[in-house]
Structure 1
């Protein structure tokens, strides 16, 4: 009997997810593995390579076992991963570094120098990657300048997904989608950019071979295949980056649909048939596949900031399992606008809309009547107002959306969904898609295997969704608040010192 399932695996910043789908796109089974982000100082954000590789094996194995599958029941496995990671390997493939993630800020001095130069603007226009310490371009310049002995030892410069696939198949390949977020890849010519490589002091043979997101790898070792419960010839599809695949997995493949995601961080995106770049360098343009680009802006500060606020503002005697529900109960006690209390959520620096690694969070408008409840509501509103700020920049480059969709862990809260809708001021659809980046990887897999004709079929494969309409009174409050929020964020820029 023909294989009935495909799997999508998403290698994220603090967890790896694997989801099993039937070939009609409906989710069937899932598994998760969590791991810490290594922060030995405030600017560091790294991952342990063995932990990540083990998490990938663990989640694939868990899904096959939970679903009771045989070795030939899975038609293929597609991969998604977080963008912007960098790993140095020596000539024998031995790691010289951990995985340096998008959240690592140690290269901010070099990103700032590029950002304020003509050559930096030219690089941005070629690559679609904003000039920020998140990008491998900045990380390479930092390592070259401050760790020259280590850098000179490197034979390979790769990311986390490339490392996993090399461990599994012994090949150094990277999909166009992940490559397009490195700051080294020409997004119009689909190749490593020679001018940028020369500027960095590296050559193309130090980088993985760029391939289509539908590229297949096969030939697992007998040992790994037996561990995972797969046939050795099971095709692994290289897939794309998590942001682009999240858009695909939500069915937001056509022009005119904007998506908002809030996980640990967050993003606003719109799919197009060509790149759209901001003259100020405030938006990105990454490749989904040969026919689609995803344009938008990503933020550092999403659900992680709400988690921080819960720890700071909730009473210590509340059990951990009740914290989230209690926080929502407290927020519901406060009127929209938090009685004038405004929060800028830049606790981790910020990517869009500021692209300033030195930005910091702040509360303003504090008075004696504000309670813990007000501070919690202001934090949640600040996260959403920041995304509205990014959406405004994306709309300037891509045009007004005809539809807005949103997803992420926050969407399980009816209150948070409604606050986001009221702040954006337009109806928002919340699809019931399960792990949208995994779903996007599964859809790329279906296309690669010839089980669907085009990724344009994604919209038709999506299931039910919940739609929220903005409340007129709340919308008016936030419409009046947003200009103040935006103006204050720009005025405070002069106090964020770039070093």
Structure 2
């Protein structure tokens, strides 16, 4: 039997799956790695650990399932999280840790760009909001702090590019990933001269840009031998996790939105036209020549819920955080909507869309003597979901959204999906057997192989047979609480800035 392999290098883990040529998932393995926070605003990962984890997970999957069942891997498709930056030397050796999307150290670079009044033109060119998450800001920060390097930076790449370089010996970045850097002109499809000048680098310090369908890379002989995959196996460059999660939700045209909630969150829509936002809140990333994925990302989703579990969960009877999380979800069900007047602002990592404020911070508002840990848990989840809703509300200013689909780790919790349906006041559909990103990689790869004639045909093969309908009474109550959530966020904006100055005092 022939099959394809999908490799998703995401924020918390690498997930490897085997798909039948019909698009059905067969096998899966996953391996995790940590994120380090040496300073409050820094978020880093060890590139070698990410690469070694990828090697190990693929080899384990091959040895446990693929080779014993005599399955032939005919193509490998890739995905990766956006906004990571890794400086490497001329030999491709990392000169430090990889800076990931949650890192906020580039705040001074953001202010410098805004003061120069280049922000409007660069946002229009690149489709990437002006924020420390942007690789443009990270590279500008690194270039202004060259003293931390022991030798010259030859190239700036993402973690996905680093893994591909180790596997193939070549630097290559897909148009989807390039379009999320803040350095790529998404209309002209080339590196932006203005952005390069601001970062003080040249295009030679970035990877060659290719289509998401590019299949010219080949595995190194030693990787081919280790994995047991023929050296001439086709490698599909693939796209970003965000674009592929949208594709994996069956969304390739207007009218629908997808909510993705994992470590972070996002609400995304697809279309042939860019969303033009004068307030610079919306991202526009490329999937293919005639398809833009637009939307907004949130910093504070699963990572915040796991923070709550680690700090307030009961580990005395459970060995794994997944068990603690399940228990917390059970306790949430016993608490009424609104957590008896407790509202949580989830901005533990600052925030991206829609407020784009790296200095925003989390808080519980309305605490009283009768509140318990279960109330805090309910308020925490509601605050995370209000953050997601705020992104959806922003997108509704530009497009009509008739139906919402959901994927990501939170989609496996029916309580969470029902709460989202009630908050949005809309029907939500899903297929919980699908892994959104993995399914997206599979559809892209199978289309490149000619199994599907185009991506529209590929998405038509998906079935979303699970649905959640909104409760009108709950929707009205949530709207009232969301109004308070929104007002608190707005009123605390000056205090967020003041607190940031106090931290540096």
TM-score normalised by the chain length of structure 1? 0.95
What are the equivalent positions in structure 2 for 1:237-386 lying under 5 Å apart?
A: 237-315=236-314, 317-321=316-320, 322-386=323-387
Query: Is 1:457 aligned with 2:452?
Result: no
- Residue 112 of structure 1: how far off its partner (Å): 3.1
- Residue 149 of structure 1: how far off its partner (Å): 6.7
1:416 is aligned to: 416
- Residue 472 of structure 1: how far off its partner (Å): 2.1
Distance 1:314 1:72 in 2: 43
Distance 1:137 1:95 in 2: 18
Q: Aligned to 1:297, what secondary structure does the other structure show?
A: strand
Q: Aligned to 2:492, what secondary structure does the other structure show?
A: helix
Counterpart contact for 2:18–2:26, Cα < 8 Å:
yes
Distance 1:314 1:48 in 2: 28
Counterpart contact for 1:267–1:296, Cα < 8 Å:
yes
Counterpart contact for 1:71–1:231, Cα < 8 Å:
no
Supply the RMSD in Å over aligned alpha carbons. 1.8
Alpha-carbon displacement from aligned partner over 1:57-87 (angstroms, at most 9, x marks no partner): 2222222223233888112010000001111
Query: Is 1:425 aligned with 2:425?
Result: yes
Q: Aligned to 2:396, what secondary structure does the other structure show?
A: helix
Q: Which moved more, 1:317-326 or 1:47-56?
A: 317-326
Counterpart contact for 1:112–1:131, Cα < 8 Å:
no
- Residue 404 of structure 1: how far off its partner (Å): 0.4
- Residue 20 of structure 1: how far off its partner (Å): 0.7
TM-score normalised by the chain length of structure 2? 0.94
What are the equivalent positions in structure 2 for 1:479-494 lying under 5 Å apart?
A: 479-494=479-494
- Of structures 1 and 2, the one scoring higher in RCO (CA 8 A, sep 6+) is 1
Counterpart contact for 2:315–2:324, Cα < 8 Å:
no
Change (3 A) 1:341 1:116: farther
**Partner residue of 1:47 out of 40, 45, 48:** 45
Counterpart contact for 1:255–1:272, Cα < 8 Å:
yes
Q: Which moved more, 1:464-473 or 1:174-183?
A: 464-473
Counterpart contact for 1:282–1:354, Cα < 8 Å:
yes
Counterpart contact for 1:433–1:462, Cα < 8 Å:
no
2:15 is aligned to: 17
Give the total of aligned pairs: 496
Q: Any gaps of 5 or more consecutive residues in structure 2?
A: none
Distance 1:161 1:278 in 2: 29
Distance 1:437 1:87 in 2: 23
Query: Is 1:208 aligned with 2:189?
Result: no
1:144 is aligned to: 143
- Residue 267 of structure 1: how far off its partner (Å): 0.5
Q: Which 4+ residue blocks in structure 1 deviate beyond 4 angstroms?
A: none
Q: Any gaps of 5 or more consecutive residues in structure 1?
A: none
Distance 1:101 1:460 in 2: 34
1:153 is aligned to: 152
